[in-house]
Structure 1
Amino acid sequence: AMLSEGIHSAVDTGNQILLLYGLRQARKPADELYPFGHGKEIYFWSFVVAILIFAVGAGISMYEGFLHLRHPQPIENVAVNYIVLALALVLEGAAWLLAWREFRKTKGRWTYVEAIQRGKDPSMFVVLFEDSAAMLGLVVALASVILGETTGIIYFDGAASILIGLILGGTAIWLAYETKGLLIGESAGRAVVQEIRAIVSGFDSVERVNEVLTLHMGPEYILVTISVKFAPTTHASAMEKTIAAAEREIKEKFPAVKRMFVEAEDIQARVEGGRAAT
């Protein structure tokens, strides 16, 4: 169990470095090759973190657990184990508390479950769940040392390693599931879409909003496309003013909206009709 926790700590440290690297890469400005920026870098590296937790952390922990069940050995230097685990619990507890407080600040009016499911910044909940898994693993390791010492049963150590592996495996699968959606491309959420639709519909020159599509290109980067039907009497200049005013109002309401594209249904229909006529 101690070895499993040591492996978990090493993986945890590496994962923090990867998340930090992903955050730095995500802040890089757009360029010719990546015109919408590098915001999804953090989604990719969060997914890599989930894979590493599963493959390295969970895999090795469970392997060591089965190995110790087949060839059990009594725990040596019990006092040292207690000291190491106590220090680890204090340090991990402090890290978990910091992550929890930061998560509470960023979740806003959402419940904790909603913040995890709807949140677009995986770095926050990845760190929180990694630290939570670490705390559970340390508790399991400590319990195995206590039970092994008091009962004399030498199988607790191997069983604890397997349980730690299962905790890490479950955490990794959940993290992979959450980051997969962000990596593929999630919308900004129903409330944001409805508010954008209401803003555009509020202009007199707009007869109907056909469709509002949003896509998170990063935690703080939303791409918006809108299909609009203007009133038949609306001139091109009025359309341009309406689109400019709508974009300004939407970006003021949602600063994360960085790019917005509007398709005018009437203009599109005329272009297609002209092509058909020729």
Structure 2
Amino acid sequence: MSASGGTKAIVAALGANLAIAASKFVAFAFSGSSSMLAEGVHSLADSGNQALLLVGGKKAKREATPQHPFGYGRERYIYAFLVSIVLFSIGGMFAIYEGYEKITHPHDLEHWYWPVGVLTFAIIAESFSFRTAIQESNALRGQLSWKEFVRRAKAPELPVVLLEDFGALIGLILALGGVGLSVLTGDGIWDGIGTVCIGVLLVLIALVLAAETKSLLLGEAAGIEEVKKIEDAIVDGDTVTRIIHMRTLHLGPEELLVAAKIAVAHEDTAAEVASAIDAAEARIRAAVPPTRATPPARRR
């Protein structure tokens, strides 16, 4: 993922969420709607999440040190994992609690036009943010489905923003449905039910984010297509005859470590073997640009 593409999507989402959060809290103050309170906290949590992603992206750019010789690329994964925790604890659990309170102690909505107007505005603003995330993702996902893109993406920012924006839009529709049913039926319990549904949705999204970022934190290999390109680049059929075994590991979204044990021609001299290894490394870097190749072990 290009840094500019991810940053653009994050900034767009941050601006939208801050504006939406402010409007939701105003609507809550006038109407007393639990859906609006839950949605306000949700948007505030999302704003904090986007701030975390920006911080993680900045910290990941630090140069390697003797203590961290492979750099700090994985910091982006750590901050993405923190996002899932924030979304679960602040957004999801708070909404479920608030919805339960409203169901057990329902009360009529006051000035219902405030939450309806704010939710309509929020849906429009969130749609623009979601559209930006989709455009930035389309430039990278190629022929992958959206599910495959979220699961395979090594850069966490765009999948996180995509899921957040998608969850926000569905949550806004649920909130609008809860408020609308409360107004039509005169029963405030529907507002509480809508709030609980928002909380469950956020918890599910947080669990998906946690599972995907956990996998990245543990260390993921290169994708199937990248592995094939690397294998084709290593074996030239002349000095490098085959790959005995190979391991790949993403050190960060844009840095890939490759370690390979290769077989070389029996009659080659040490100088020719060293030259073959250098040539193989150059071919790997050309085939998969974000690659850091270790000197391959050789076997005659």
TM-score, length of structure 1 as denominator length: 0.92
* Equivalent position of 2:197 in the other structure: 163
1:108 partnered with 2:172? no
Of 60, 85, 93, the match for 2:127: 93
The CA deviation at 1:167 is 0.5
* Equivalent position of 1:31 in the other structure: 65
The aligned amino acid for 2:203 is G
1:210 partnered with 2:244? yes
Structure 2 SS opposite 1:110: coil
Whole-angstrom distance in 1 between the partners of 2:289 and 2:267 = 32
Whole-angstrom distance in 1 between the partners of 2:258 and 2:147 = 26
| Structure 1 moving runs of 4+ over 4 Å | none
Distance 1:249 1:240, change over 3 A: same
1:16 partnered with 2:50? yes
* Equivalences for residues 139-178 of structure 1 within 5 A: 139-178=173-212
Deviations 1:98-124 (A, max 9, x none): 111111112123232222221111100
The aligned amino acid for 1:113 is K
Deviations 1:124-161 (A, max 9, x none): 01001101101111111111111111111221011111
Of 20, 42, 48, the match for 2:76: 42
Does structure 2 retain, via aligned residues, the 8 Å contact 1:213–1:225? yes
Deviations 1:190-214 (A, max 9, x none): 2222222222222412233111111
Whole-angstrom distance in 1 between the partners of 2:102 and 2:117 = 22
1:236 partnered with 2:270? yes
1:255 partnered with 2:300? no
The CA deviation at 1:258 is 2.6
Identity of aligned residues (%): 36
Of 86, 89, 95, the match for 1:61: 95
The CA deviation at 1:241 is 0.6
TM-score, length of structure 2 as denominator length: 0.86
Point out where structure 2 has 5 or more consecutive residues left out of the alignment.
Answer: 1-34
Structure 2 SS opposite 1:28: coil
Whole-angstrom distance in 2 between the partners of 1:88 and 1:208 = 58
Deviations 1:189-238 (A, max 9, x none): 12222222222222412233111111001111000000112222221101
Deviations 1:36-65 (A, max 9, x none): 111101111001100111111111100111
Does structure 2 retain, via aligned residues, the 8 Å contact 1:203–1:242? no
* Equivalent position of 2:226 in the other structure: 192
Does structure 1 retain, via aligned residues, the 8 Å contact 2:171–2:201? yes
CA-based RMSD: 1.2
Deviations 1:56-111 (A, max 9, x none): 11111001111111111111111111121122111111111111111111212323
* Equivalent position of 1:136 in the other structure: 170
Q: State the number of aligned residues.
A: 266
Structure 1 SS opposite 2:293: strand
Point out where structure 1 has 5 or more consecutive residues left out of the alignment.
Answer: 267-278
